[in-house]
Chain A
Amino acid sequence: MQYRQAKTGKLLIDILPNKCDFCGCCVGVCPEDAIELKEAEIYIIDSRCTNCSKCIWACPIEVIKFDKEGVPEKQVNK
């Protein structure tokens, strides 16, 4: 499975493909060219991701997250 992968640093960035809308915000802000986005398929390129979190902040629908406990996710009000 190509989907959830990034593990270059201590943290893991997780894109939830079944919730993703494939809009491309994350790709636009990714400084490492570490996200592959096809018509309806998305995954992080393991070897490039540095866990910088910019994709998490830019995601309009909160489907990119760190998947470890204790790591700040978006403070969702609703």
Chain B
Amino acid sequence: MKEEYDIIVVGAGPAGTIAAQYAAKEGSSVLVLEKDRDVGYPVRCAEAINREGLEAFIKPDPKWINAEITKFGFVAPNGKKVIIDLGKVEGYMLERRIFDYELAKIASEAGAEILTRTYVNGLILEDGKVTGVKYEFRGQQMEVRAKIVIGADGVESRVGKWAGLETCVDFRDMECCFQVTAANVQCDQDTLFFYFGKEVAPEGYFWVFPKGEGTANIGLGVSGGIGKKRSALSYLNSNLEKFFPTANILTQVAGGVPSVITLEEIAAPGIMLVGDAARQVNPLSGGGISSGMIGGSIAGKLAAQSIKNNNLNYIKKYPKEWHKARGKKHKILDKLKDGIYSFTDEQFNKLIESLIKLPSKKRTIGRFFIIALANKPSLLKEIVKVFVI
């Protein structure tokens, strides 16, 4: 380990290791610091990713894919179900503990150094600029310097705060989640199921995602506003009893999804934020792997260019490039989320009914939202932007 690196990445999730990989490929010296003992574990994720988002970064490998997704299923509060057939493989279920490991390995092959069980607990700031991190390793308090620090420290990010960025998530925008991976569960291995309704998951959804024959990730998220009255865990327990009484629970995990638009400021002198830390999650679905990797790749590349050109001002381009790549779209998705949040059970029932009536070829995700928000013409235009263009 060196005393100084060009770039330090805090957090070895997908956003962090992609940032490290892209920066190292461009010739920067990179150190990744991870607080947990393992990269990829514990898995705080429902593990679904869209095909394009994944394939932009890595070729799908059976080693870390549990299921190939060709269908979406929506279940109304009254129990009626509609299947949207996507026609071909449009998504994957990942085995994150292996997937994240693989990404870390690729980053390391590109030249990045990775250190686990390293808890970053402060920044070195000089003349209003971040110049390194303070961390705890094997009980010792230490420091390491860098020209640029990339904060990829997840939903619980503090790195940005220490640099003066406004990163706090309004509790109403925090999707508070609880998930089990269960065996002895009958579920279609090619379908992602979403359940809606005030009983199952108000201001959120209940998901059943396949994890290989007989197993599934079963979980839900509710907003912090709902969590004020009743917790995610309590909702999940009722849902398991109701829908999967015979499920055997193999793992259980809590987690938070910052379901908001990206932070206004994701870069400051000497620092950039990526992934959940930058709130780069798709606010509608809560999916954050692919958008985190996009954020990571942009940040990693720009950081390396800054180093190469000996001009740290390059990182100022980051917010704009992110906005162009994903941020703009997330603003629309966030509006759609607000539209869907306000649905009554009756409206969900009607929506699913009208989809059931359509011939299966005409059922698309776009149409789901078009029907859902038919009485909100301003949102309709936005839907077209997301799902057509």
Could you tell me which A residues sit within 8 Å of B by CB distance?
Answer: 21, 23-25, 27-31, 33, 36-39, 54, 57-62, 74-78
Q: Name B173's closest neighbour in chain A (CB-CB).
A: A29
Chain B 155-174: CB-based contact to A (< 8 A → 1; otherwise 0): 11110011000001111001
Question: Using Cβ atoms and an 8 Å threshold, which residues of chain A touch B323?
Answer: none
C-alpha spacing A27/B171, complex, angstroms: 11
- The smallest C-beta distance from A18 to any residue of chain B, in angstroms, reads 14
C-alpha spacing A57/B228, complex, angstroms: 4
Question: Using Cβ atoms and an 8 Å threshold, which residues of chain B touch A25?
Answer: 155-156, 174, 176, 224, 254-256
C-alpha spacing A24/B175, complex, angstroms: 12
A60 & B256 in contact (Cβ 8 Å cutoff): yes
Partner of A59, one of B36, B227, B253: B227
Question: Using Cβ atoms and an 8 Å threshold, which residues of chain A touch B171?
Answer: 29, 54, 57-58
- The smallest C-beta distance from B332 to any residue of chain A, in angstroms, reads 23
- If over half of B's interface residues share one DSSP class (helix, strand or loop), that class is named, otherwise mixed; here it is mixed
Could you tell me which B residues sit within 8 Å of A by CB distance?
Answer: 35-37, 44, 117, 119, 121, 136, 154-158, 161-162, 168-171, 174, 176-178, 224-225, 227-234, 237-238, 253-256, 258
Partner of A21, one of B225, B234, B237, B254: B254
Would you mind naming 24 contact pairs between A and B with Cβ atoms under 8 Å apart?
A23-B254, A25-B254, A27-B155, A27-B157, A29-B171, A30-B168, A33-B158, A38-B119, A38-B136, A57-B228, A58-B171, A59-B231, A60-B232, A60-B254, A60-B255, A60-B256, A61-B178, A61-B232, A62-B234, A74-B230, A75-B230, A76-B230, A76-B234, A78-B234
A39 & B231 in contact (Cβ 8 Å cutoff): no
C-alpha spacing A65/B36, complex, angstroms: 26
Partner of A29, one of B136, B161, B224: B224
Question: Using Cβ atoms and an 8 Å threshold, which residues of chain A touch B169?
Answer: 28-29
10 A-B pairs besides A23-B156, A58-B224 with CB distance below 8 A are A23-B253, A23-B254, A25-B155, A38-B136, A39-B117, A58-B171, A58-B176, A60-B232, A60-B256, A62-B231
A75 & B229 in contact (Cβ 8 Å cutoff): yes
Question: Using Cβ atoms and an 8 Å threshold, which residues of chain B touch A29?
Answer: 168-171, 174, 224
A61 & B254 in contact (Cβ 8 Å cutoff): yes
Question: Using Cβ atoms and an 8 Å threshold, which residues of chain B touch A27?
Answer: 155-158
